[in-house]
Amino acid sequence: MADRATFERFFPFHSLGLQKNPFGALTRDEWVSVTVPPPIIREIVDKNVEHLQVIGDKGRGKSTTLHWLCHHFQMRGQTVSYERLPRWTFNYHTDISSLDCFALDEAQRLLFVHQYRLFRHLQGKRLLLGTHHSWERAFRRYGLHLTTVYIGNQTTRDHIQQIIDKRLIVFATDKGALIYFDASAIDYLWVTWRDNLRGMEYFLYHTLQKWREIGAITADFLDSVSKDYSEPQGLY
């Protein structure tokens, strides 16, 4: 009995058929494995577009989409690199000379002079941008075609269902996940969070920390959890 209590203390999610809280911090490989790109992203890569910008507010899935795209092109034998420009950083540092594909996240921070350097070395390469502001004018200036996806517009109720189901599948133990979110819970998340995937993810982490029963998680439970939930500071 003591051994079982010790096991449950250190592995509390195993009783739910989960290796850990599926909405917690992820490694890069885990991040890619749980990603469910919206259908338009799959359509675009099937068409083998040259350059792509993913536009959206914070927390809508820009970085997640870029990481998935990097993995997609790496699996097809291309040399790929990802770089994110932190706040107050206005230049990229990746040597793109030997790359087939370069993903630049928070690309709206790049100064004009460094945009010029990027375009000067872009021939024969694919550029993937995560940005808050469109680069269409710059691409027209250099005579290049750019495909645009407004990522927040791609989130639907069904997409939220797929995201949650994928998390539970990826982090299930060998016996499989013993919990699920019923239709009322998915409706609740869709109405409450819409395309704010980051905010929803943090809320679901908080929810799973409180859930210890096998079976369906309902809208009523989510609503009860929300009453003492405070969104982490600095989330956006």
Q: Residue ranges per domain, the chain?
A: 39-153, 155-226
Assigned token pair, 67: 């990481």
With vertex at residue 187, the alpha carbon angle to CA 184 and CA 191, rounded to the nearest 5 degrees, is 140
Assigned token pair, 8: 């449950």
Residues 6+ apart with CB under 8 A from 69: 37, 41, 45, 52, 103, 128
Cβ 165 vs Cβ 176: under 8 Å = no
Q: Is the pTM of this model over 0.85?
A: yes
Select the CATH number that applies to the domain covering 155-226 from these four: 3.10.450, 1.10.8, 1.10.357, 1.20.1300: 1.10.8
d(C-alpha 44, C-alpha 63), whole Å: 17
Q: How far apart are the first and last CA of the chain?
A: 45
Encode the chain (236 residues) as per-residue pLDDT tens digits. 445 544 455 568 999 999 999 999 999 899 999 999 999 999 999 998 999 999 999 999 999 999 999 999 999 999 999 999 999 999 999 999 999 999 999 999 999 999 999 999 999 999 999 999 999 999 999 999 999 999 999 999 999 999 999 999 999 999 999 999 999 999 999 999 999 999 999 999 999 999 999 999 999 999 999 999 998 876 65
Q: Architecture of 39-153 per CATH?
A: 3-Layer(aba) Sandwich (3.40)
Nearest to 200 by CA among 147, 158, 163: 163
d(C-alpha 115, C-alpha 221), whole Å: 49
Pairing of strands 147-150, 215-217: unpaired
